[in-house]
Structure 1
């Protein structure tokens, strides 16, 4: 596990402003990662590696093995909770705070984004599950946990959180997209049941009303309501159009949309495209649960900002994993 000590939004925001010349308008005070039901925490522990298979059907956190995949959202969450008191699946609050910390410290990680290597630096490689050639588009290019270089960790050291970018998408807790509406907890409290999560005045609208086929309907629009829905209400399937943009922060905000600080803090909206990178994918019908980071073939679409909101909670495929976290 990697201990992440508490920091402040104003310090992170100032460091980003000083280095990149952009104000991300994150506000002040303690990041939501370190708030649990309103109480402040001095640190949170995050699994250094993606979860892998453990004894008796459980999950472990071990370097140098294949990550555990092909588990749906509920199974992944239960595997983390079953490790004991204080254990939980990594939340959107934790992911976003760590991503912003990396941006502020100029240690945004690379990863397995090009079939066993980084698309940004093709000399950065790790062993593929099929022992294949880095860059070979055939075979299974998923790499072993934590076997990439230090630049694949959140702080660019061997002690940091590994493989946040690329390799496999990661399920995150405490956020969902319901019929296109953004719903989250307000702080890092995995014990709050979904029915009590907060519905924000934020929707991923579509530029067109197309509902035919599994085609790309364009870039999502952050709106105060849905004007164009690309599939039937209540349909969690993937048989209708989807929305995407190559950078989550580049999507348009409608004239009626009211910007929200909490969503900037969670990297769901952004004041600027000068931030962590990554594509966004979503469907604005049915219930969708969040994936972040991207996978081994996403190239520039992978990143700390990459956000997948196209999958139902029942999705269980080889390109999706998860990561435990722990309240000390």
Structure 2
């Protein structure tokens, strides 16, 4: 964590007139050097002063996502539909990016905080004493009713729901026939994600990094020239390496696995058969054995929908005056 990066829980009104409970990460001008700025704040060759992430998995109100407590999260929505819906919130609003999600994971890691969540039909599979408020027989839980241990930093100002309840679509990461590709910095945070991203191949010493499922039932991280066309899932601790002595730094940077992956029971899935596999992150209410905030599935197509996949909107601000409005005690600002 950079000491010049601050955070605060705020309420922001979007262009549809909906209030949104957000965690704002911000940097005051003059307090940092450009080379020290986290990728979170780097968007299309600019450094923005603030990025806000929905505190809660989003519900849907008249076709517009909103981050509100005591709500049922929206599910059964495709990747492209989720991105388009977030764009309807106004300038700077977007479907949460992989860079943003991983920033929260890394902050938790640096704090020594394990993010809990609903991974067992309403409760935490690793600690049954922790539970949310269920609203259906399936075990899904309402937003805003979680214990503090379920926020990304263990505080009320943090982001909730990253672990369990619903998987979440994120932009800016994919598999292209098994090859890991990403958008640099936080460039995926484009309004409505309407621009075609510039995909960059993740490389290790000039060789493309790949993920695939093999016929033995493993997920393999590889830089081999030829890989199997298959899909599979496993605990991260069971990940196999091929033509690699260790997990490369780019895999940590993209949040494919954590640094302590050899002890991580969260699941990792990869499909090298599809032309494009887009990510869902964070596990769901029925992820009893493979759940965790770092869980990652790279085997969904853009058009896929599921009753355990939801969405989370985020917002970037380019105007410091908007940030100062939000910092005023008890203020609700428009963005």
TM band (smaller chain): 0.7 to 0.9
**In structure 1, distance between residues paired with 2:240 and 2:258:** 11
Residue in structure 2 matched with residue 4 of structure 1 by the alignment: 25
**Any conservation in 1 of the 2:135–2:142 contact (CA below 8 Å)?**
yes
**In structure 2, distance between residues paired with 1:269 and 1:153:** 20
Displacement, 1:60?
Answer: 1.3
Residue in structure 1 matched with residue 5 of structure 2 by the alignment: none
**Any conservation in 2 of the 1:267–1:305 contact (CA below 8 Å)?**
yes
Residue in structure 2 matched with residue 96 of structure 1 by the alignment: 102
**Any conservation in 1 of the 2:214–2:232 contact (CA below 8 Å)?**
no
Match of 1:101, SS? helix
Match of 2:83, SS? helix
**In structure 1, distance between residues paired with 2:144 and 2:262:** 28
Displacement, 1:31?
Answer: 2.7
Residue in structure 1 matched with residue 279 of structure 2 by the alignment: 290
- TM-score scaled to structure 1, two decimals? 0.79
**In structure 2, distance between residues paired with 1:181 and 1:299:** 29
- Identify which range, 84-93 or 156-165, moves more after superposition: 156-165
**In structure 1, distance between residues paired with 2:129 and 2:226:** 46
| Alignment of 1:57 onto 2:67 | no
What's the C-alpha RMSD, in Å, of the aligned pairs? 2.4
Taking the TM superposition and a 5 Å limit, the aligned residue runs for 1:1-328 are: 1-5=22-26, 29-54=36-61, 56-130=62-136, 139-190=137-188, 191=190, 193-194=195-196, 196-200=198-202, 201-208=208-215, 217-225=216-224, 227-231=226-230, 242-247=231-236, 250-255=238-243, 260-273=248-261, 278-286=266-274, 287-328=276-317
**Any conservation in 2 of the 1:129–1:143 contact (CA below 8 Å)?**
yes
Cα 1:275–1:31 change in 2 (3 A) is farther
What is the number of residues matched between the two proteins? 280
**In structure 2, distance between residues paired with 1:57 and 1:94:** 24
Name the one with the larger strand percent. Answer: 2
**Any conservation in 2 of the 1:88–1:324 contact (CA below 8 Å)?**
yes
Cα 1:166–1:60 change in 2 (3 A) is same
| CA shift digits 1:297-324 (9 cap, x unpaired) | 1124121210011111111111000100
**In structure 2, distance between residues paired with 1:295 and 1:259:** 26
Displacement, 1:51?
Answer: 0.8
Displacement, 1:39?
Answer: 2.4
| CA shift digits 1:154-207 (9 cap, x unpaired) | 121222111110001000011111111111101101238446211221111343
- TM-score scaled to structure 2, two decimals? 0.77
**In structure 1, distance between residues paired with 2:76 and 2:258:** 31
Match of 1:304, SS? coil
**Any conservation in 2 of the 1:93–1:188 contact (CA below 8 Å)?**
yes
Match of 1:128, SS? coil
Cα 1:276–1:35 change in 2 (3 A) is farther
Cα 1:327–1:146 change in 2 (3 A) is same
- Unaligned 5+ segments in structure 2 are 1-21, 29-34, 203-207, 318-335
Residue in structure 2 matched with residue 234 of structure 1 by the alignment: none
Match of 2:261, SS? coil
